[in-house]
A and B are shown apart, each in its own frame.
Chain A
């Protein structure tokens, strides 16, 4: 049943290099300058020995004669009543960045926010987070943040700036002031802006989003009469068709959608039903990777597909699609959609108004309104209209703008015609930036008044109409920064501080101070159960839209098209300066620290002369990090980027991620100090304005292999582990819904067959070993985890959450290239099937499996890793001497070795200069180190580390139960990855407790449950639930 699963092309081909890398656990020796002759034959062995002896004796003597360091214990002068030093507290606040707003809790320890967690009370995200939300706490301690207000790059006080700006405004005369912001989700801020505009006649507010949703907004205005985006209800949809909308990764409200999507993907074994997701796209995306069926197309065909789908849904013939596979896909999608009328949903990621009008018509035909599309609440997070901004740029160039106040927007980088914007900016007399960092636009402004980070700010957000989320500071502003609202209030002549303003604003609405306090404590105010609502649809614009699409230029079959996409972690550039996000392997490409050109395997053959079915060529491409650099030319812009071959990409389409090629002042992560160039290349200039909206699809590009090479740090070829039977069926189990329905016990039988030689499943635990099983009669707690591969979508929130919680080191690109990445939790990306161009994808989060019969434990010469009575595989850093035997013996390859002092943990300053790069050194800056979790040891060079099941959280949960003298409950513990997961794929708890979630999950899913590499008898405490794909027809067995 199980198909072949492969992680890399080498594995698919079983190439020589692949075999080699399976055999060699570590790619290199310890970094000692040894010639292989051995100690005695080495150069100067005797003298060196004496030197070392002398040095160590002297060092020991000096160390021993040192006084014990004198330390101080300084208590508060006045201890606030609620604070207990050493205990953490959670404050409800709201993550707001470029219009994205998520209700979160900030974990504050001794006055420092150190971790972000989801707010369970939010009905939108229901406690889920994303990688970007998790990483946002590191931005607070970013050393590149602006630390004081400036006038012409000179430090100034707030009074100076206020005075100068006031004088500047007075000197503008009749020339209007424009406030340029990214989408403002805060209702009170909108009022503050209105107040400012009222005081300054002629002033106006322009909203600009780097990646806007103008297309949808305008289409909805045309068809529903509302310039708004309704709530999509993926949880109510039995059939989902996405036209290149990456709704699990980057589109509109990914956390919310991931949560909803998972509802349809959770399987009840007794009555297995699932939603069906059909995806059309050009470049492999996270959402596409999760789809049940995926069809590939050229970006230029987007409109035609929408029109064809509309036709098919209405029972007409499909025309205008040449590709037979694609055509079949559309027909099939339409069939599925129509069969589930009222339970079907079509979404499109296109920013083309006409396409979105057609999509609206499809949804209308499917009776989605009030069922899978809910108009009772609309999003306030995306309000930018590209045409408005384009007009502003024109006005600026015409000299029609007197003053420009910029907040949250960075058009000098994100606007496709940034030169025009910059030219226009020069003609504006008064330029003020409120951005927190010296981004491309801020650098060009005369006045800079940096705003607080959101964790230092007061505020509010109306994420969807009626859904309020409040923001409160969790730390006193670290630098001389001031919130935008305070500046605007004072410039409008108000003497009220924004805090008072906000308090007054909400107290009036929430029933006085008590209501405000309660709302602040909970973080959210939700509408009382609103019923789903539809909106009246006007089909007047549909035929115009269809004919407009029909008139679009057809793609030349010979041309290659370019599609600009957003990475899950990086977005439109928000994550570029964040080392946690840069080092998180991209879910789809598994690359870190870089931007690249995505090409399909077929394109690689023609463009780069790499035939992946050829062993030698696949190895040459895959094993060595340097990749071919390709120069990409379109719209008069040329950039050079290394090419990555990613299956699941349309053969004649290439993809580039946005968000790279930033300026140096944004931080160490965006700039390669050694090479003297920005990391990656800026792809925004490729975009264009079409029919008033920005289009990220480019009809024709010239690609040229420059024959240069550039290394890209990919992680999927690291930590390879071989399996005895090949094909990885013991690691990863997957089947189709049809198979599952036909034979629910298939996986169970599979497992039975694997362990048959050792007594079968029933007796396996006892008979699979010659040792007595001492772990069986341990009373009390036994920790266990269950991961549902069906709901896991590979988004990577858990990876960043783990990094944040456990002080996992950032190692930088050169070290990732050497396979030295430190993440305790990795998400393995598996392809299945041998269709190189469009394989199926499965994600498997893999952390230490905490084996009860752990192979790492019995090879440690110093007993630094051993087993606890609660089933934890413990790692004791202070005992570890770094033999790495354990890592070598771990069948899952989840142990990490500290090759260098990444964290600056040892007491010699700067000793890692030249060993690790600037990004890593910067992580041990005093400011950055404030993000460290004080409950977790910072590891030093030479020790192994790995997932601990967040033992610090387990201990703290046990303690709180003990303090209250009650048994432990599930609600006491949430390990970091589980907490972060937007789909609740990870369940954790006490497996000895019959009522705990983990036990219940295991009991309820006996047919999907499996253990990775079960036949090794390592007895893991992590169980997986097999992936079931909703494909009705049984797949043919792959050879």
Chain B
């Protein structure tokens, strides 16, 4: 994977040209080349998009995870604050960007406020009381369990996030798309080139044989009656072999990918936009997918979780949303659909027992013989949701981003580092710890999932 992508494309073009010539001149080597070609194919930019994305996200996560406190701050923020606060946006509570300045830089006051806002209000602090009144006397939750250091970590995260947001508007996505466009153009070009070369090779071969015949006639050697190329056994054999190989290859590929549903994007009973919720409004994934840190399933939120917010939010006021067909989606109408499931009538108190479950169409579906656990990956492995689900915060209706094939899983397990030093569980791997210290294991590569047995059958199949 370390090979530069641009370089790869060049190599590939060259390879095809070489292959074409070699195959025609040395049919017996055909298997060898096909095999080679396949391995190259794996790394060809077209299919590079997934691994490269994974790689880039992995790199991203690893750079983040190096800054331990910021990482803590982020997760603390998402665990404790995100349900009511965003960095740059007013939610239930105020936007947190610049919060330290607003409090006059007095961290003590801020700590006291966060620990126990109700008690702090009683001290008669004017800013706090004004704030309280401004937000309709909605009391802020009490966080006595947070230590001062943790609060500082959250504040640290808030300030870096605020800076990052103001410094750079979206950077990542554009490049990927641009790269994609380039790829498809190139492959077409190389294809045509290959065809042209093949025709040239054929013509040259024909010319060669004609010349030979002429030379023979000149020498007085009688040649056999010319055989048209469609009855030439050598040609027929080559065509048959080629057909067999390409047919077999396509069948195998087809069979392997049978049942895989990459890019599956069904229409759901409610047009639920992750872009609106996770993207624009920055609701933490865990707020709705409550199981993701705890268990096997991330869990699709139940109606009562939706209603936590939507009892108050009954119309959509954000930017226009468009579905895949480019039609505009009426957000408010979709919220009303939710109300129908919830059995909620606006203006009346909600009776949660009347709710009906929403029958979503399942997108990510692993076979029964695979055991997958979200907590293992997200909580223990600290893998970002986007690694497997793509840029979910930019999706309208959800689309399956990853192939979810075994090869895809295993490749990631081969390269991903485990949280070897941070997680106490791995302290029993004394040998690896010693090897890391002595440099026997490259500390930049770290201990991968594979090294602790993460590619063995019974880690996922039992």
Contacts and interface: CB of A to CB of B under 8 A. Distances in A.
Nearest to A873: B458
Contacts of B361: 70-73
Given A85-B299, A779-B432, A959-B375, A77 B357 contact: yes
B357 A777 contact: no
Given A84-B295, A866-B457, A966 B425 contact: yes
Given A85-B297, A869-B452, A951-B458, A77 B302 contact: yes
Interface in A250-285: none
Interface stretch (B185-193, B272-280, B362-370): B362-370
A64 B459 CA distance: 30
Interface string B100-125: 00000000000000000000000000
A12 to B, nearest CB: 40
Interface stretch (B21-29, B204-212, B220-228, B253-261): B253-261
Given A73-B360, A77-B357, A936-B462, A780 B452 contact: yes
A504 interface: no
Main secondary structure of the interface of B (DSSP, over half): loop
Interface in A836-876: 866, 868-870, 872, 874-876
Interface stretch (B153-161, B318-326, B327-335, B348-356): B348-356
Contacts of B424: 964-967
Interface in A942-982: 948, 951-952, 955, 958-959, 961-968
B458 A77 contact: no
Q: How large is the interface on B (under 10, 10 to 19, 20 to 34, 35 or more residues)?
A: 35 or more
A878 B259 CA distance: 16
B458 A935 contact: no
A965 B430 CA distance: 16
The 10 residue pairs across chains A and B that have the minimum distance between CB atoms: A86-B296, A779-B431, A869-B453, A76-B302, A79-B302, A77-B355, A73-B362, A87-B295, A874-B458, A86-B297
Contacts of B458: 868, 872, 874-876, 948, 951
Interface string B401-434: 0000000000000000000001111011111100
A959 B423 CA distance: 11
Contacts of B357: 74-77
A937 B368 contact: yes
A566 B254 CA distance: 60
Contact of B356 (A64, A77, A868, A968): A77
A967 B457 contact: no
B109 to A, nearest CB: 33
Interface in A920-946: 935-938
A992 interface: yes
Interface of A: 63-64, 68, 70-79, 84-87, 777, 779-781, 866, 868-870, 872, 874-879, 935-938, 948, 951-952, 955, 958-959, 961-968, 990, 992-993
A84 B375 CA distance: 12
Contacts of B353: 78
A445 B376 CA distance: 55
Contacts of A959: 373, 375-376, 380
A76 B423 CA distance: 33
Given A78-B304, A84-B299, A992 B425 contact: no
Nearest to B268: A73
B94 interface: no
A873 B261 CA distance: 33
Contacts of A948: 458, 462
B359 interface: yes
B429 A780 contact: yes
12 contacts: A64-B254, A68-B264, A70-B361, A71-B362, A75-B358, A76-B304, A79-B302, A85-B299, A874-B457, A938-B368, A959-B375, A959-B380
B10 interface: no
Contacts of A951: 458, 462
A86 B462 contact: no
Interface in B270-308: 290-291, 294-297, 299-305
Contacts of B255: 64
B450 to A, nearest CB: 10
B317 interface: no
B456 interface: yes
Contact of A876 (B380, B431, B453, B461): B461
B244 interface: no
A994 B303 CA distance: 50
B430 to A, nearest CB: 6
Contact of B302 (A78, A876, A879): A78
B365 A71 contact: yes
Contacts of A878: 369, 461
Contacts of B127: none
A63 B425 CA distance: 45
A86 B461 contact: no
B251 to A, nearest CB: 9
A955 B462 contact: yes
Contacts of B369: 877-878, 937
Contact of A968 (B254, B259, B355, B425): B425
Contacts of B356: 77
Nearest to B264: A68
Given A79-B305, A86-B295, A968 B428 contact: yes
Nearest to A781: B428
Contacts of B302: 75-79
B371 interface: yes
Contacts of A962: 376, 380, 423, 425
Contacts of B291: 84-87
B423 A965 contact: yes
A84 B357 CA distance: 16
A990 B429 CA distance: 12
Contacts of A937: 368-369, 461-462
Contact of B371 (A73, A75, A879, A955): A955
B352 A78 contact: yes
B379 interface: yes
A901 B461 CA distance: 20
Nearest to A76: B302
A932 to B, nearest CB: 11
A815 to B, nearest CB: 24
A968 B429 CA distance: 12
Contacts of B299: 75, 79, 84-86
